[in-house]
């Protein structure tokens, strides 16, 4: 049985937010019965609870929801990621079009791109955009080597060739081919060229806590921190599923598995399908407005860094990646979930990054962290990897009343919100609850087919030699 480590490194996102929901319990004791148990209080769990509320509020049919979290609320990957709402606007087009054809690749890309207006509209409707530090704008992929420039430019050109320069999404992307202009735009020292496309940024932890606060105010959500689910049963003859926890059992009609890397803990069928990997990040003090755009640096298919800057009063740069360092010891991060460990040399790498990589940096060298290393200045987080590169979203075959959304391969921000909007009505249909599709989700695309959970997909992927793939990734 694998559960999240109970003493993870401290993340700036969590420590600086100072949320009153951090260790929240709605009631001293667990409810003995509910309609929906959501296991996991991160982005997937919170978005699912939110959409269940939005789908049923008009009808007055909101079911009882109990959300279980094994440690503090949103203390997992969502409270530890890079904060970039950054779709794959073009960069994954070559492999996706090779697998699914030009239209299939565009379907995947448009689903990600739809998250930008979806976030904007949701946050405006709820009045929380400023609270969660939301910002739309342009981002860039900065090529730091000829190899990277060839790969990024070729991806852009192939998508333009297949869909036309005025085609969906590609018309909103552009190249900066002059190195001097690219360096000026990206602020990345030594940039050879760049691809620019629409993007966004957000404080993920604050966003999740805001969604949970909204649903808690309806009275339909019971939120329980520090309460791991240790076993879930099948539905019995009376339609009940038993969820076991150290604090007692809950019987429920449905279970939403929203634990990402830890889904195999309760669903052994996913043992060979979803794997962990450590990400490392740091918070750097910087002058207000110093970083103009979110962005990423690329050297090859593995080595990259990514960053954003928070607005006042924080003004902190959040930077992640450090693969220049990590590639020398891949066992330290590939298939690791040791969030309690800071990989040696990472904080020093990040503190040297502004002076070595940002044009015009006049701050300290080494740079000052936003907090001390042990209290949020530098941290690790567990990302999940799906064995076929796509998340599993939907009803679990042969497990009535069980649903899952997990395996986002380190790219959940522009995938989860609308995936959860797909899951919510499936849960409500299982409960035979009347609902009305909210205007917030009506304009957006359906779930991409590669995300769907099917019996065939699971059975095929269970036969893949995951250990061989791991050894290959380490050698690379």
Q: What is the pLDDT of residues 103-133, one digit of tens each?
A: 999 999 999 999 999 999 999 999 999 999 9
Within 198-307, residue ranges assigned H as helices are: 204-216, 263-266
pLDDT of 474 over the 70 cut: no
pLDDT at residue 264 in the model = 93
Task: Check residue 25 and report its DSSP letter.
Answer: B
| Residue-wise pLDDT tens digits, 135-160 | 999 999 999 999 999 999 999 999 99
pLDDT at residue 303 in the model = 77
Of the listed ranges 21-30, 52-61, 293-302, 449-458, the one predicted with least confidence: 293-302
pLDDT of 57 over the 80 cut: yes
pLDDT at residue 171 in the model = 98
In this structure, are residues 40 and 260 in contact, taking their beta carbons and an 8 Å threshold? yes
What is the three-class DSSP state of 84? Answer: strand
pLDDT of 370 over the 90 cut: yes
- E strand or H helix at 426, and its extent? helix 416-431
Q: What angle, 0 to 180 degrees and rounded to 10, lies between the N-to-C axes of helices 204-216 and 43-56?
A: 40
Tokens of 271: 């043992």
472 band by pLDDT with thresholds 50, 70 and 90? low
Q: Which residues of 267-288 are buried (b: 16+ CB within 10 A; e: fewer)?
A: bebbebbbbbbbbbbbbbbbee
pLDDT of 1 over the 60 cut: no
Exposed/middle/buried for residue 208 (C-beta within 10 Å: 0-12, 13-18, 19+):
buried
- Report the chain's mean pLDDT, rounded to a whole number: 95
d(CA 227, CA 245): 7
| Residue-wise pLDDT tens digits, 341-357 | 899 999 999 999 999 99
Within 57-189, residue ranges assigned H as helices are: 93-113, 115-126, 146-163, 179-186
Q: Span 404-413, mean pLDDT?
A: 95
420 band by pLDDT with thresholds 50, 70 and 90? very high
pLDDT at residue 276 in the model = 92
pLDDT at residue 473 in the model = 57
pLDDT at residue 326 in the model = 83
> How many C-beta neighbours within 10 Å does residue 469 have?
13
Triad 13, 14, 15: Cα angle to 5°? 100
d(CA 88, CA 173): 11
259 band by pLDDT with thresholds 50, 70 and 90? very high
Percent of the chain topping pLDDT 70: 98
pLDDT at residue 335 in the model = 83
328 band by pLDDT with thresholds 50, 70 and 90? confident
The backbone region for 462, taken as left when phi is positive above 0, alpha when psi lies in -120 to 50, beta otherwise, is: alpha
pLDDT at residue 152 in the model = 98
390 band by pLDDT with thresholds 50, 70 and 90? very high
Q: Span 369-393, mean pLDDT?
A: 95
pLDDT at residue 173 in the model = 98
Task: Check residue 269 and report its DSSP letter.
Answer: G
pLDDT of 3 over the 80 cut: yes
pLDDT of 325 over the 60 cut: yes
Q: Span 175-190, mean pLDDT?
A: 98
Q: Span 215-226, mean pLDDT?
A: 98
pLDDT at residue 471 in the model = 62
pLDDT of 310 over the 80 cut: yes
Tokens of 51: 């959409």
How far from 51 is each of 125, 260, 298, 303, 445, CA to CA, in Å?
Answer: 14, 18, 36, 37, 16
pLDDT at residue 334 in the model = 82
Q: Which residues partner with 267 through β-bridges?
A: none
């Amino acid at each position: 049985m694998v559960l999240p480590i109970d003493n993870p490194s401290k993340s700036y996102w969590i420590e600086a937010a100072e949320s009153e929901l951090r260790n929240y319990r709605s009631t001293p004791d667990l409810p003995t019965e509910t309609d929906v148990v959501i296991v996991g209080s991160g982005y997937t769990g919170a978005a699912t609870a939110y959409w269940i509320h939005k789908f049923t509020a008009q009808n007055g049919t909101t079911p009882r929801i109990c959300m279980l979290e094994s440690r503090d609320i949103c203390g997992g990957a969502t409270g530890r990621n890079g904060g970039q709402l950054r779709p794959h606007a073009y960069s994954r087009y070559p492999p996706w079009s090779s697998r699914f054809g030009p239209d299939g690749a565009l379907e995947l890309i448009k689903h990600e791109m739809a998250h930008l207006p979806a976030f904007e509209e949701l946050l405006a409707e709820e009045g929380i955009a400023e609270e969660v530090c939301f910002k739309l704008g342009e981002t860039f992929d900065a090529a730091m080597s000829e190899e990277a420039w060839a790969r990024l430019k070729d991806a852009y050109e192939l998508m333009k060739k297949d869909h036309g320069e005025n085609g969906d999404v590609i018309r909103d992307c552009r190249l900066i081919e002059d190195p001097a202009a690219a360096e000026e735009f990206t602020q990345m020292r030594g940039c050879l060229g760049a691809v620019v496309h629409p993007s966004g940024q957000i404080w993920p932890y604050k966003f999740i806590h805001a969604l949970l606060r909204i649903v808690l105010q309806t009275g339909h959500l019971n939120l329980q921190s520090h309460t791991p689910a240790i076993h879930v049963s099948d539905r019995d003859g009376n339609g009940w599923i038993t969820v076991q926890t150290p604090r007692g059992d809950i019987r429920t009609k449905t279970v939403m598995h929203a634990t990402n890397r830890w889904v195999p803990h309760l669903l052994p069928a996913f043992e060979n399908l979803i794997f962990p990997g450590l990400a490392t990040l740091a918070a750097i003090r910087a002058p207000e407005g110093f970083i103009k755009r979110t962005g990423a640096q690329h050297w090859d298919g593995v080595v990259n860094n990514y960053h954003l800057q928070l607005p006042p009063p924080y003004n902190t740069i959040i930077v992640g990646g450090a693969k220049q360092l990590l590639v020398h010891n891949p066992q330290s991060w590939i298939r690791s979930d040791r969030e309690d460990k800071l990989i040696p040399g990472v904080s020093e790498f990040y503190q040297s990054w502004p002076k070595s990589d940002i044009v015009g940096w006049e701050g300290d060298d080494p740079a000052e962290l936003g907090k001390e290393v042990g209290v949020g200045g530098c941290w690790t987080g567990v990302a999940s990897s799906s064995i076929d590169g796509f998340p599993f979203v939907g009803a679990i075959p042969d497990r009535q009343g069980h649903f899952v959304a997990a395996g986002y391969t380190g790219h959940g921000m522009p995938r989860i919100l609308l995936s959860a909007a797909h899951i919510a009505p499936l849960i409500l249909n299982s409960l035979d609850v009347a609902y009305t599709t909210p205007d917030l989700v009506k304009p957006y695309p359906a779930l991409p087919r590669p995300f769907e959970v099917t019996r065939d997909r699971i059975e095929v992927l269970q036969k893949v030699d995951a250990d061989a793939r791991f050894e290959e990734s380490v050698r690379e």
